[in-house]
Amino acid sequence: LGIGGSFIGGIQNIYDMTNERSLCGMDVTQRFVQSVVFDVPNFTGAHPLMRSVLGGWQLSTIVVGQSGFPADIAYGLDTTGTGVGSRPDSVLGQDPNLPGDQRTYQRWFNTAAFALTPNGRYGTSPRSGAIRLPGVFNIDFSVNKQFRLSEQRRFELRGEFYNLFNHYNIEPGSVDRGIRSANYGKVGGGIQGLTVRVIQLGAKLYF
């Protein structure tokens, strides 16, 4: 997915840096990573066939959850005649970030929180942190088992599941941040993306 620091605006007025103070482009307010490995018991007292089939499996998972990177709102016009592009204006009383249950592919952030900047001055929206881009939530899972064939030989079966629950993580760059764009505020032009679950199966013989 998109890299932090890629979605920051440029400096408008080098003679007034007060309005250039903003969040770091790589600011992440929340990040959770958990790795779990579980060895299934060997069922020592069970029937040999059951012990061979059910015992000795190893399950592992990695869970990643992260909030989105900060970003600017793009304008692309020189409103001051200085040859430097301006940023849009922030609208007072409007929260640019929508609650999670209100975000859609047609309206990812509150587009009413920004307005076109009039000629003759710079915009008031921040250089970064005007909005938050989509975050990441992903679960990978793997399962493997080794079968002992002899003192030096063993056979391993392995299955790996990337994005186990087929959750679609929106590419941050697909959010249209151009205030003059026809798809302003939309994700990928307003079209829902495709999920991507990858399953790999493998076998290995050690000798």
Question: For residue 2, is pLDDT > 70?
Answer: no
Q: What is the pLDDT of residue 203?
A: 94
Percent of the chain with pLDDT over 90: 67
| Per-residue model confidence as pLDDT tens digits over 147-166 | 878 878 888 999 999 999 99
C-beta separation of 153 from 207 below 8 A: yes
pLDDT digits (tens, 9 = 90+) for 73-108: 999 899 999 999 999 999 999 999 999 999 999 999
pTM for the whole structure: 0.80
What φ, ψ does residue 185 adopt, rounded to 5°?
85, -5
pLDDT band with cut points at 50, 70 and 90 for residue 131 = very high
**CA–CA distance, 32 with 14 (Å, rounded to integer):** 38
Mean pLDDT lowest among 4-8, 57-61, 182-186: 4-8
| pLDDT band (50, 70, 90) for residue 53 | confident
What's the rounded Cα separation, in Å, for the pair 197 and 59?
A: 18
Q: How many CA atoms lie within 13 A of 144 on its CB side?
A: 16
Band of pLDDT at residue 190, cut at 50, 70 and 90: confident
Write down the mean pLDDT value for the chain: 90
The helix/strand/coil state of 20 is helix
Give the pair of three-digit tokens for residue 161: 């599941």
Question: 127 or 55, which is more confident?
Answer: 127
Q: What is the mean pLDDT of residues 57-68?
A: 95
Instruction: Give me the mean pLDDT over the 20-37 stretch.
Output: 93
Q: With residue 89 as reference, give the H or E element that holds it.
A: strand 89-90
pLDDT digits (tens, 9 = 90+) for 174-189: 999 999 999 999 998 8
